[in-house]
């Protein structure tokens, strides 16, 4: 795989060009920590340029001609990038709100960039067959060439099945939780059945839903409803029970009825539990819809795309579809987390931020 020479002739020019850059980075690294924001920006840009240079080298040479010299630089750059993330994350983000938001976005971006950099270097540098693990650049090309198809899949799976099932499942779970709280004997009869239903395997339920509701998105939404209903039910009930007895006694002293206590005390106390259920269900809903599409769907959808393209050995398209699913699920989760922070900022878990 590697040349016996420490440095092959084809790499020498590139490595000589990189040598001053890497040396400057190492010399300035510790000073950048104490030189304020400008020093951190300069050091970050220098490391980024070094990463781009090594990527260009790996793509321009055959894997058999690569030697250990280039990998020493790769390891050095990855280590420096790791340290850069360390001193970016140590900045006090509470001093300036805008800078805090930028840094909170920068650190995950740098970490993700480092993972993609190592992924690209290892798959290309070691000549990993693209059918086993395509490089990020190849996945990006497949993504760009399949934007229309991926957008149609996103609309079918996420905009229709996931959102419809999510809101119906969470909404009905919340409503039933209020009913169960109002009628206590339902807890003994309904909750055990709920635990039983939540343990049903999705691979067994999905074909039945397809038979009942057809091949379109409605059957996938039905699967999502089943997956999201009981987490919302259980978490809402737990949140309603979390109200302290002293608070309830105070409301009783003001002659408050059930609904007044529910809306003024118990539901606000239950909001962190409800948002936990919403965040959990945001990922369960997407997983359920995609898996359900494996058991019958029109010729569109993320699950259909993954199962079809993997059969054609178009692994890059499969990874592009997985990327769309991951991004949509992450953004949906982030939106719910943002709403949680806005509505439950009084909760102790947010006070330190």
* 152 and 295 in a common domain: yes
List, as one string, the DSSP characters of 98-125: HHHHHHHHHHHHHHHHHHHHHHHHHHHH
Report whether 279 contacts 337 (CB < 8 A).
yes
User: What is the count of structural domains for the chain?
Assistant: 2
Side-chain half-sphere CA neighbours of 2 within 13 A = 9
* 175 and 71 in a common domain: no
* 172 and 272 in a common domain: yes
Give me the residue label for tokens 């309830």: 248
Q: What is the pLDDT of residues 228-265, one digit of tens each?
A: 998 999 899 888 888 777 877 777 777 777 787 878 88
Q: In 3-state terms, what secondary structure has residue 286?
A: helix
**pLDDT for the residue 4:** 40
Q: 4 in a domain, yes or no? A: no
pLDDT at residue 316 tops 70? yes
* 187 and 95 in a common domain: no
Q: 137 in a domain, yes or no? A: no
* 264 and 149 in a common domain: yes
- Mean pLDDT of the region 40-53: 66
Out of 72, 98, 128, a domain closes at: 128
* Residues spanned by the domain of 188: 144-351
Q: In 3-state terms, what secondary structure has residue 100?
A: helix
* 311 and 204 in a common domain: yes
Rg (the chain; Cα; Å): 27
Q: 136 in a domain, yes or no? A: no
Q: Does the model's pTM come out above 0.85?
A: no
* 43 and 159 in a common domain: no
Mean pLDDT of the chain: 77
pLDDT at residue 67 tops 80? no
CATH number for the domain that contains residue 150: 1.10.3720.10
- In the 8-state DSSP scheme, what is residue 160? I
* 149 and 123 in a common domain: no
Among 16-20, 202-206, 266-270, whose mean pLDDT is lowest? 16-20
Q: Which contacts (CB < 8 Å, 24+ apart) does range 58-65 have?
A: 58/120, 58/121, 58/124, 58/125, 59/124, 59/137, 60/10, 61/8, 61/10, 61/11, 63/1, 63/124, 63/125, 63/126, 63/127, 64/1, 64/3, 64/127, 65/3, 65/8, 65/10, 65/11
Q: What is the pLDDT of residues 195-224, one digit of tens each?
A: 777 777 888 888 888 888 888 888 899 999
* 95 and 120 in a common domain: yes
Tokens of 219: 């059957």
Closest CA to 104 of 351, 353, 328: 353
């Amino acid at each position: 795989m590697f040349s016996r020479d420490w440095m092959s002739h084809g790499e020498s020019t590139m490595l000589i060009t990189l040598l001053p850059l890497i040396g400057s980075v190492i010399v300035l690294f510790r000073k950048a920590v104490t030189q304020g924001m400008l020093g951190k920006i300069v050091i970050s840009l220098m490391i980024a340029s070094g990463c781009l240079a090594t990527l260009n080298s790996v793509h321009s040479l055959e894997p058999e001609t690569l030697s250990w010299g280039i990998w020493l630089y790769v390891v050095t750059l990855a280590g420096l990038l790791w340290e850069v993330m360390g001193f970016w994350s140590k900045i006090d983000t509470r001093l300036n709100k805008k800078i805090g938001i930028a840094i909170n976005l920068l650190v995950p971006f740098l970490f993700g960039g480092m993972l993609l950099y190592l992924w690209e270097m290892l798959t290309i540098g070691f000549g990993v067959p693209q059918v086993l693990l395509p490089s990020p650049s190849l996945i990006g090309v497949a993504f760009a060439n399949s934007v229309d198809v991926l957008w149609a899949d996103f609309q079918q799976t996420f905009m229709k099945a996931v959102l419809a099932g999510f809101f119906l499942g969470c909404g009905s779970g919340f409503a039933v939780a209020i009913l169960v709280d109002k009628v206590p004997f339902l807890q003994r009869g309904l909750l055990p059945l709920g635990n039983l239903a939540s343990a049903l395997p999705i691979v067994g339920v999905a074909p039945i839903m397809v038979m009942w509701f057809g091949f379109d998105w409605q059957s996938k939404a039905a699967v999502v409803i089943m997956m999201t209903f009981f987490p919302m039910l259980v978490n809402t009930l737990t949140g309603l029970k979390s109200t302290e007895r002293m608070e309830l006694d105070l409301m009783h002293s003001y002659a408050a009825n059930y609904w007044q206590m529910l809306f003024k005390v118990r539901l606000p106390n239950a909001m962190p539990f409800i948002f936990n259920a919403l965040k959990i269900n945001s990922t369960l809903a997407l997983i359920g819809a995609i898996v359900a599409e494996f058991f019958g769907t029109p010729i569109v959808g993320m699950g259909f795309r993954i199962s079809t393209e993997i059969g054609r050995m178009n692994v890059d398209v499969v990874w592009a579809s997985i990327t769309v699913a991951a991004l949509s699920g992450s953004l949906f989760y982030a939106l719910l987390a943002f709403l949680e922070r806005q509505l439950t900022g009084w909760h102790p878990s947010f006070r330190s931020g």
